[in-house]
Structure 1
Amino acid sequence: MNLAFTNKTVIVTGAAHGFGRAIVIAFAQRGAVVWGVDLIEDELRETQRLAGANCTVCRLDVRDKHAVDAVVASASSATGRVDVLVNNAGGVLGQVGRPLEDVTAEQWQAIFDVNVGGAFFFSQAVAPGMKAARFGRIINISSGAGLGISLTGIQAYAAAKAAQIGLTRQLAHELGAWGITVNNIAPGFVRSNATTEKQWESYGAAGQQALVDRIALKKLGTVDDIAHGVLFFASELAGWITGQVLSIDGGK
């Protein structure tokens, strides 16, 4: 299956490493004009180098609505719209699992602002252009934690990813009349960045084996497995699929 995105404009958030970097590269290799955004500037520049000439990067905090609006305006300047938006920015922001009563209001809100607020602001910004074109693809990257529980034990992360899935379904119904699809990918555990490497190491040999044993395919996935799911949802092959959650987790 050869998916092409020639002359399509794509924005990927959380593009500095991991899933985001793999998604940027996958679209750039298939002809898209890709904008990668993230807060981590040095790693973002490496993403740009790996993706090549079709990639533009911008340091941006997805919680800043004015900055989001400005980037969307810049990205859409060539074609008048953004064709594909991938809301990948998120994570636990360096937090660790702690008892419910020890979680501060600021810790709780910070995770929601990045994982849900950022996806909302970007979707809000691209919607007018997609409506005018009567075409668009919005793909949100949640987590298996949004469908079950978080391996990290971080309450806000599990709740925020579940909220993002709810936002996906709501926007799918709101935007469907304009030919805009909104879908969600819920990855399983993938060793994709420094945070997941630290998490993996914390399990020890026995815990690592137990995690793998719970996977039907008996192996961990890769960042490219997640990127391939995004390419599918962004393609014409998924033109009559919206409001759906695709678990890419090796089978649970």
Structure 2
Amino acid sequence: MNIRFDGQTVIVTGAAHGFGRAIALAFARLGGNVWACDVNRSGLALTEQQALEQGTALKVRMVDVTDREMVRTFVQEAGTGERLDVLVNNAGGVLGQVGRPLEEISEEDWHTIFRVNVDGAFYFSQAAAPLMKARHFGRIVNISSGAGLGVSLTGIQAYASAKAAQIGLTRQLAHELGPWGITVNNVAPGFVRSNPTTERQWESYGEAGQRRLVENIALKRLGTSDDIAAAVLFFASEYAGWITGQVLGVDGGK
């Protein structure tokens, strides 16, 4: 299976570290014209540097995925020439929150997580759809979480709910955009030590908790950001042309 993206324009959100960085670098290695965005300037610079070190290049932009107009402007810039082939909605996370009792959660705590994890994916998909419809081709891949399919290890109510909502958005958009040859799929990662937040989460479990987590995985090991990127590459490739509205759990087996 030879997957290439030569000549294709690819947008990856949340590309300053972890999954987003791995996904952006992978598309660049395979010939994609990659536009990577985040709100983390220093992280984006490192992603750009790593692209150069692997002998490729990508364009980076500071974009707040919760700002609808900023999203629209960025997508129009990336789609200059009226071409946008792949959109990866990876931006998300817990935004520094930790698990707390339900009654302690403020309105802002709840909505902040939804704005990044759900609104951002909606805004980007909304901005990308006209470009994809015009060419009767497109691939949208959303990155959710095992938390959206079950119970979140973080204990954060808004995170579990937002990721479940993003999965619902994936299925709805798959049916709406299918007539234009646009597929919309979802990758639901298991626990991966991919960024500062997951590192803190890992450390919080202690040695015994870490051992239990790994033992509950069928393959008896944690995954990597490259494992997640591989699933995204498949959904974006020609080999997934008749697959849409699907959620792929990439979690080592539960």
**Same fold, judged at TM 0.5 (above):** yes
Match of 1:13 in 2: 13
Conserved 8 A contact 1:32-1:54: no
Give secondary structure in 2 for the equivalent of 1:58.
strand
Match of 1:81 in 2: 83
Unaligned runs of 5+ in 1: none
Match of 1:111 in 2: 113
Per the normalisation by structure 1, the TM-score is: 0.99
Q: Hey, what's the Cα distance between the residues in 2 that align with 1:165 and 1:81?
A: 26
AA at the equivalent of 2:18: G
Deviation at 1:81, TM superposition (A): 2.2
Q: Hey, what's the Cα distance between the residues in 1 that align with 2:92 and 2:4?
A: 27
Q: Counterparts of 1:24-35 in structure 2 under 5 Å?
A: 24-35=24-35
Give secondary structure in 1 for the equivalent of 2:214.
helix
Q: Counterparts of 1:58-69 in structure 2 under 5 Å?
A: 58-69=61-72
Deviation at 1:51, TM superposition (A): 1.6
Match of 1:156 in 2: 158
Residue 237 (str. 1) matches residue 227 (str. 2): no
AA at the equivalent of 2:63: L
Residue 54 (str. 1) matches residue 57 (str. 2): yes
Conserved 8 A contact 1:185-1:248: yes
Deviation at 1:12, TM superposition (A): 0.3
Q: Counterparts of 1:132-151 in structure 2 under 5 Å?
A: 132-151=134-153
Unaligned runs of 5+ in 2: none
Deviation at 1:105, TM superposition (A): 0.3
Match of 2:22 in 1: 22
Match of 1:191 in 2: 193
AA at the equivalent of 1:58: R
Deviation at 1:213, TM superposition (A): 0.4
Give secondary structure in 2 for the equivalent of 1:165.
helix
AA at the equivalent of 1:230: V
Q: Hey, what's the Cα distance between the residues in 1 that align with 2:34 and 2:50?
A: 12
Deviation at 1:49, TM superposition (A): 1.3
Match of 1:42 in 2: 42
| Deviations, residues 178-235 of structure 1 (Å, cap 9, x unaligned) | 0000000000000000000000000011000000000000000000000000000000
AA at the equivalent of 1:70: T
AA at the equivalent of 2:102: L
Q: Hey, what's the Cα distance between the residues in 1 that align with 2:58 and 2:216?
A: 38
| Deviations, residues 160-180 of structure 1 (Å, cap 9, x unaligned) | 000000000000000000000
45-54 or 18-27: which moved more?
A: 45-54
AA at the equivalent of 1:173: H
Conserved 8 A contact 1:81-1:126: no
Give secondary structure in 1 for the equivalent of 2:96.
coil
Give secondary structure in 1 for the equivalent of 2:21.
helix
Q: Hey, what's the Cα distance between the residues in 2 that align with 1:44 and 1:226?
A: 19
Match of 1:127 in 2: 129
